[in-house]
Amino acid sequence: MTGNSLPVCGQGGADEALLTVRGLRVVIDGLHILHGVDLDVAPTGVTALLGRNGAGKTTTVKAVMGLVPRTGSIVFAGTELSGLPTHLVVRQGIGYAPEDRGIFAGLTVAENLRLAERDGAPAYRLVHELFPELKQRSGQLAGTLSGGQQQMVAIGRTLLNGNRLIIADEPTKGLAPKIVAEVADVLARVAESVPVLLVEQNLAFVRRLGGACAVLADGRTAHRGDTAELLADEAAARRLLGVGSRRPAGGSAVPVTTEVAL
């Protein structure tokens, strides 16, 4: 639909990218899910991966992690990842907070974090400073945590090690508006020191974090550029994401707390 010509605009050129994905293809059970995803993650700040439901965002991220069979080139800081099993990909210095949070419900919060320890000096101070709640609840079974607390565990695990890249897949899904705001704060802070690849449906959230973006459609990269520019361009946003910067649905008279619902 959008053709293969990829408008590359703004910054985020391939040269100095930390993670470079080219021609990524994924076939599962004979289904072609990705056919040609290109993606660059800048060495600083947030890079957003956007697209409609089923566009292939999660699959792209999983392919980078080696969680699904993939072909194509995935270069991270000079290392080719496409042949590596997942645990070795992670050991390159990538922290991953998956879409469904990947919490081990039967383990305690402390055990969930301990499992993620990779190098000698896990940064518990940082994690506990960001999420004091995790310290208080360290003995609680993670399965009984609320959704927001679980999300904190998931993000906390990525911060424990000296990672060079953090990948967060829809960290706000199913979260209450207040927590969404909190998560946005945390990610903004994290992105100051470690680059973040963010998959997100909530455009308000993406806008808040800014940075570069790539938009997927039907298993292909349909657009790459700057997030703010994309969201400001009504026509492009509608074409690529199916929405404009619109008013809340339902025509309620109540002043809604902005676009959380998007």
Partner 1 sequence: MANPASAADPVPAVTATGDPVPAVPATADPASAAPVPAGAAVAGAAAAGAVPVLRLRGLGWSVRGVPIVEDVSFDVGEGEFIAFIGPNGAGKTSLFNLISGIHPASHGKVELDGADITSEPVHARARRGLGRTFQTSSLWSGMTVADHVRLAAQAAAGPMASYRIWRRAARYAGQVADTLERTELAHRADTLASALSHGEKRKLELAVLLVSDPRLILLDEPMAGVSAEEVPALTALIRSVHRDLGRTVLMVEHHMDVLLGLADRLAVMHHGTLLALDTPAAVMADTTVQQAYLGEAL
Partner 2 sequence: MIVLLVAPYSALPVPGLLDGSLGSPGSLQLIALCLVYGALATGYDLLLGRTGLLSFGHALYFATGLYATDLAMLELGFPFLVAALFGVGCSTALALLLGSVSLRVTGIGFSMVTLAFAQAGSILIQRNPGGVTGGEEGRAAPADLLPGSLVGIENTANLYWIALAYLLLTLALVRWTVSSPTGRVWEGIRENERRVEVLGLRPYGFKLVAFVLAGGLAGAGGVVYLLLTGGAAPQAATSDATLALLVMVVLGGSGTRWGPLLGGALYTWAAHRLGDLANSAAIADLPAVLRVPLSQPLFLLGTLFIAVVYVLPGGLAALPARIRAARTGSAAAAHTPEGGSA
Partner 3 sequence: MSTVVLLICTGLGLGALYFLIASGLSLIFGLMDVLNFAHGALLSIGAYATWWAGTEGGLGFWPAVACGTAIGTLAAVLLELVLIRPLYSRPRDQILATVGVGLAVPALLTGVWGADSRPFLQPPELSGTVHVLGAIVPANRFVLMAAAAVLLLVLRLFLGRTRYGLVVRAGVEDRAMVTALGIDVRRAFTLVFAIGGAAAALGGALGGLYFGSVHPGQGTSLLIFAFVVVVMGGMGSVTGAAVASAAVGLVQQFANYYTAAGLGDLSVVVLLAVLLLVRPRGLTGRLA
Ligand X SMILES: Nc1ncnc2c1ncn2[C@@H]1O[C@H](COP(=O)(O)OP(=O)(O)OP(=O)(O)O)[C@@H](O)[C@H]1O
Cα-Cα-Cα-Cα torsion 252, 228, 194, 177, nearest 10 degrees, comes to 0
88 versus 232: smaller Cβ distance to partner 3:
88
Q: Which of residues 178-237 bind partner 2 (CB under 8 A)?
A: 218-219
Paired tokens of 65: 């992690």
* Cα 248 from Cα 262, distance rounded (Å): 8
Q: How far apart are the first and last CA of the chain?
A: 24
Q: Which of residues 32-71 bind partner 2 (CB under 8 A)?
A: 32-33, 35, 54, 56
Beta-ladder partners of 39 = 21
The answer to whether 143 contacts partner 1 (rule: CB under 8 A) is no
199-218 footprint of ligand X as x/- string (CB under 6 A)? --x-----------------
- The least distance separating partner 3 from the CB of residue 195, rounded to whole angstroms, comes to 18
Which segment (28-36, 113-121, 156-164, 249-257) binds ligand X by CB under 6 A? 28-36
* Among residues 25, 128, 164, 208, the one that binds partner 1 under rule CB under 8 A: 208
Rg (CA), the chain: 18
The answer to whether 20 contacts Mg ion (rule: CB under 5 A) is no
The answer to whether 114 contacts partner 3 (rule: CB under 8 A) is yes
Which segment (111-119, 145-153, 177-185, 240-248) binds ligand X by CB under 6 A? 145-153
Q: Contact at 8 Å (CB) between 21 and 38? A: yes
The answer to whether 144 contacts ligand X (rule: CB under 6 A) is yes
161 versus 223: smaller Cβ distance to ligand X:
223
* Cα 257 from Cα 162, distance rounded (Å): 36
| Residues 6+ away with beta carbon under 8 Å from 40 | 12, 13, 14, 17, 19, 20, 21, 47, 212, 214, 224
- The least distance separating ligand X from the CB of residue 160, rounded to whole angstroms, comes to 23
18 versus 97: smaller Cβ distance to partner 1:
97
Paired tokens of 171: 């960290």
Tokens 């959380």 sit on residue: 260
The backbone torsions φ and ψ at residue 15, rounded to the nearest 5 degrees and listed phi first, read -60, -55
Tokens 């509608």 sit on residue: 238
Q: Which of residues 38-97 bind partner 3 (CB under 8 A)?
A: 65-67, 85-87, 90-91, 96
The binding site for partner 1 (CB under 8 A) comprises: 52-54, 144-149, 170, 173-182, 184, 201, 203-205, 208, 241-243, 248-252, 254, 256-258, 260-262
